[in-house]
Each structure stands twice: as structure tokens, then as C-alpha cells.
Structure 1
Amino acid sequence: MLILAVVAGAGGGTAFVMLRQPAEHAQAAKPLGPPQYIAMDPAFVVNLADADSVKYLQADVQLQTRDPETAAAIALHTPLIRNRLLLLFGQQTSQQLTGRAGKERLQAQALNEVRSVLKSQHAPDKVDALLFTSVVIQ
């Protein structure tokens, strides 16, 4: 009898936990809103860090988020975000930016900078992507 009671109790407890988890996950997962694209206007124009010649980078950047609070935080902290991106872009050399891999590396670093700025301001930082909509290196 004791073994039967223990097995029944364990089965009931397991069923309770298994049935409860999907309900908790459904409440925690909010449906994603439509993407919002925030243009970082005007275009970024920086001198590159090439030692042997004068070269520059011009880049149009847009940030993507699906979180309205993050979009508002980006608008509020645009000067800080632009400053950090200008500093990052100015550290690059034309050699580092040749080819797709170099631009994708810079894109990932820039996205991390944006998120870092928002975190430092205790703002929502749910930025999904940083997009280069135009890049010119001369």
C-alpha cells in the first residue's frame, strides 16, 4: 500500500509540473511586434585609421527592434549611440573592411556597441540587428 501511495503521488506531482510549464511559458513569451527600423541619420563619415594614406568610410546605418520601449530608448540616446559608433568606425582600416567578412565583423561590433550604450543607460536593449544600408570606402 505504501509503495502504491508513493508511486501515485509521484505520478500526480509529475503531471502537475508537466501541465503547468506550458502555461507559464505561454505567459512569459509575448508575441513579437512588427519590426521597427530606426535610421541613424545623418550618414556616418569618418577618416579611417590607415597609416599610409587618407581614406574614409561613409555608412548609412539603421537599427532594427521589435520592442517599442527599445525604440524609444534608441531615440532618446541617439547622441550617445552615434558617438560610440563614430569612435568604433574611426578605428578601422580600409584593409579590415575589404570583403564581406570585414563588414560583417564591423556590423557585429557596432551592434554590441549599441546594446552596451543602452545597458549603460539602464534602458531596454532589445536591438535585433544593425544594418548597413550603404557603405562607401574611399
Structure 2
Amino acid sequence: MAKAEAPAAGAEPAPPKSKKLLIIILALVVLLAAGGAAAFFLLMGKSHEDEDGEAAPAKAEKAKPKKKEAATPPTFMPLEAVVVNLADPGSTRYAQVGITLQVEDAKTADEVKKFMPAIRNGILMAISRRTAEELLSAEGKEKLAAEILDLVQKTAGMEPYKGYSPVEAVLFSSIIVQ
């Protein structure tokens, strides 16, 4: 009835399980965890890097103080419409362009008004260098808006600092080409 008999004479006892396998498995788990943590920090660092330097248009919106965005809506400053001869070769064409500036607040609008003669002159010069085709295309309008925005920011001394300027956008209220 004794079931516990001594092993057979030819059979050797089973060797104890190797601790080497356990150490290898633990090392792999630690390496995987470290690799995951490193990937997480690299990806998070890259998104912060994009905010700080590479994505300029998105950065302009993120650089604004959040309390200003929530507290006050932007101020829109309509300018008097301009009528300009266009630079079309071989024909005389005109454009009437209505422009509205989007600025941060009324104080900024008052500051911009101080430079209005110089701003208006720059706008007239910028539009008069365009052809009718340029003004009628979407890309041409976008380039003109960007040029006018740059002109207003530089003339008023409100150039972007870290992607932010209180002069926020140039909006066209009308464009008529004849």
C-alpha cells in the first residue's frame, strides 16, 4: 500500500527548475516597460515641441491668454472700401475691396487707428500690384490677406511675438473686380 516508492534505479531525479529562465523573463518585462515609458515621453515631448516652434498658425491661437479668449470676443474694425487700378497688362481694370480687421480688443483698435494713413497707403499699394485673376482666385485672396495682415502688424508695431499678435486677421467684406 505504500505508494511512495523509491524511484527506479535507472531514473534520475528531475533537476530543479532553472532560475535563469525566470531572470530572462523578468528582464524582458522590465525592458518592455522601460521602452513603453520612453516612447510615451518622446511622443509627449514631440507634441509640446510642435506647440513651441513648428506649427505657427496653430501656435498663434494657443499662445493667447485663455482668460482673454473666454472673457471677451474679438473686435472687428471695418476700414473704408478702397478702389484701385489693377496691374492687368493691356487693359484697365479696377477693384473695389472692403476690408475688416479682426483685433483683440477696442484698445488695440484705437492703437491701429493711429497708423491708419500709412496702413491705407500700404493696402492700396498691395492691391494695385495684383491682377484681376489673382484677386478672383482663392489663393490670390489668401496671399493678399496675409500680406495686408503682415503690413498692418508691422506698421502698427504689433508684430507677432511667439506666434501671437493683437492684430489677429484680415477679413474681406467685399471684392468687386471690373
Work out whether the TM-score is over 0.5: yes
Q: CA deviation at 1:67?
A: 3.3
- The equivalent residue for 1:135 is 175
Which residue among 40, 45, 53 is the counterpart of 2:79?
40
CA distance in 1, matches of 2:86, 2:95: 6
Mean Cα displacement is larger for which, 60-69 or 43-52? 60-69
Q: CA deviation at 1:60?
A: 0.6
Gaps of at least 5 residues in structure 1 are: 1-27
CA distance in 2, matches of 1:29, 1:129: 17
Gaps of at least 5 residues in structure 2 are: 1-63, 159-164
CA distance in 1, matches of 2:98, 2:65: 33
More relative contact order, 1 or 2 (CA 8 Å, 6+ apart) = 1
CA distance in 1, matches of 2:139, 2:97: 16
Q: CA deviation at 1:30?
A: 5.9
CA distance in 1, matches of 2:174, 2:136: 15
Give the match's secondary structure for 1:52: coil
CA distance in 2, matches of 1:35, 1:88: 25
The structure with the largest strand share of the pair is: 1
CA distance in 2, matches of 1:29, 1:106: 28
Give the match's secondary structure for 2:76: strand
**Structure 1 residue 73 and structure 2 residue 111: aligned?**
yes
- The equivalent residue for 1:86 is 124
Alpha-carbon spacing, 1:96–1:29, altered in 2? closer, same or farther (3 Å): closer
| Identical counterparts, % of pairs | 36
Q: TM-score, normalized by length of structure 1?
A: 0.70
- Number of residue pairs matched? 106
Larger Rg over CA atoms: 2
